[in-house]
Amino acid sequence: MDTFALKERVASFIQEHRMLAPGQKLLVAVSGGPDSMVLLHLLRELAPRFKVKLHVAHLHHGLRGKEADRDLTHVRDYCKNFKIPFISKRVDVRGIARRKRLSLETAARMARYERLSHFASRVGATAIAVGHTADDQVETFLMRLLRGAGGRGLGGMQPVRRAGELTIIRPMLRTWRSEILSLAKVYRVGYRIDRSNRDIYFFRNRVRHRLITHLQKEYSPQIKEILRRSAEILGHEHAFVHDEAARHLRRLAKVRGARIVLPLRRLLTLAPALRAELLRIALGELGAEVSPGYGDIDAVLDLCKGHRGAKQHHLPGGVTASREYGKLILSARANTRAGDYEFPLEDGLELRCPPFILRFRFSTLAKATLRRLRKKPVKLAEAWGEEGAQCWPLIEHISLDRLKGEKILVRNRRPGDRFTPFGMRGTKKLKRIMIDEKLPSPLRAVVPLIVCGDEIIWLPGYRIADQYRVTPSTRRVAQVSVEKAGGMW
């Protein structure tokens, strides 16, 4: 094998995907196995060409006793010999797997990337290089195919992946393990052998040692290259779908921090693949810790196609999807309701009612002044909704004659609240009024109430209570207004 040609192929792959930039600090994840040791060897030789500074990170998983200790020593000695900054950490993967009810493979992967991110931050690296190969790509393709994946999963690992402020790069993703072993032999790159890689208890090892061997023998000696190429093609196709879905999300979504609102009718006109990818992107932007599976996306789409009324579906990672009067609302937290509060209504009072900061105004008026004032008619859902800016400030005029020295208060909604809006006989549950007015459920705990004792005087954005309306016989009048002092999203 022409080892010089292999090094140049890796260099070209790095350039093709713009993996490195001059002056960059690069953290290289090195386990001590052949793949990562050859990666470190190649990057050490290419670092002057790309003008990058290398740091090496090693993670001790605590799974293989003295064997793992020797892996750590091997990597540390290599770095010491070539004067490469080295950092390591021991992690209790078994404990993580037990606490989070994960497989050892999944727990190890999660711990690895979490710790690598910490290492990168510590040394000031903006990219992390990992030693995944073309063989790993084929194995991943088959594992995901057998588990049931779409274009996104079958597209396999990408040469460059953004992870927040970090970039994960895979310089050897088109390099076969046989080439790596040949280079290690020619240049005498020492490495450690992880005997657990032969243990067919692990799914990946069964795919590697049994399934691929069978496919090569029974179907095609070139099956690995065929599957690698298929994964690459599907990756390109999914990238196109992703970009299109992101464009539609920017066009359709109203984003309010931890809340994304989508119009159902327009969402459902998109092609199925775009709809699904749009939802995945939206959930990712909300910070969902767990990527939603096919079943979750399907459940949200079923929710979108449902009948009238509000329904919800809880997704992995603490995100809730709800259908509210023609809109799909994705929220990264439970419906907004903090502890109960109650404050005297004073001019200039400010309250945090997430997602709003509200300011209250209170003043007394002469009745002659009241005749010259006209309030804009508003609807509750419109006033507190996404497009209600033209309704603000919310203003009402209250008869003070009924108060008899009692204080006017501002408080949040309480279970069992009832209200007698102007023009209605008898009382009605406040919750039923909000539902009838089509106020989305996440906002029902946000709208503050103006009260006196046990009586609701005014539901801002709706009508005043019948008994507090201003009449020709009213002697004392107050103007109460609510304005947005700012947003918390």
Q: What is the pLDDT of residues 281-324, one digit of tens each?
A: 888 777 655 566 777 788 888 888 875 444 777 776 667 888 88
Q: How many C-beta atoms surround the C-beta of residue 246 within 10 A?
A: 15
178-187, 259-268, 336-345, 353-362 — most confident range: 178-187
**Is 89 in contact with 61 (CB distance < 8 Å)?**
no
Full DSSP string of 295-312: HHHHHHHHHHTS-SS-EE
**Cα angle, residue 180 at apex, residues 177 and 186 outer, rounded to 5°:** 145
Residue 315 in tokens: 């997704």
* 400 band by pLDDT with thresholds 50, 70 and 90: confident
CB 439 within 8 Å of CB 430: no
What does the pLDDT average to over 104-130?
85
- pLDDT tens digit sequence for 151-169: 888 999 999 988 767 899 9
Which residues make Cβ contacts (< 8 Å) with residue 247, sequence separation at least 6? Answer: none
Mean pLDDT of 329-348: 68
Which amino acid, one-letter code, is at 33?
G
**Total residues belonging to the chain:** 489
Return all residues near 325 (Cβ < 8 A) that are at least 6 apart.
Answer: 308, 310, 381, 438, 440
Single pTM value for the model: 0.64
Cβ–Cβ < 8 Å for 430, 459: yes
Cβ within 8 Å of residue 381, ≥6 positions away: 325, 437, 438, 439, 440
E strands, 134-179, are 160-163, 166-169
Higher pLDDT, 163 or 363: 363
Q: Which domains does the chain have, with CATH numbers?
A: 3-230 (3.40.50.620), 253-331 (3.30.465.60), 342-487 (3.50.40.10)
Over the chain, what is the mean pLDDT?
A: 84
Q: What integer pLDDT is reported at residue 75 of this predicted model?
A: 95
pLDDT at residue 489 tops 60: no
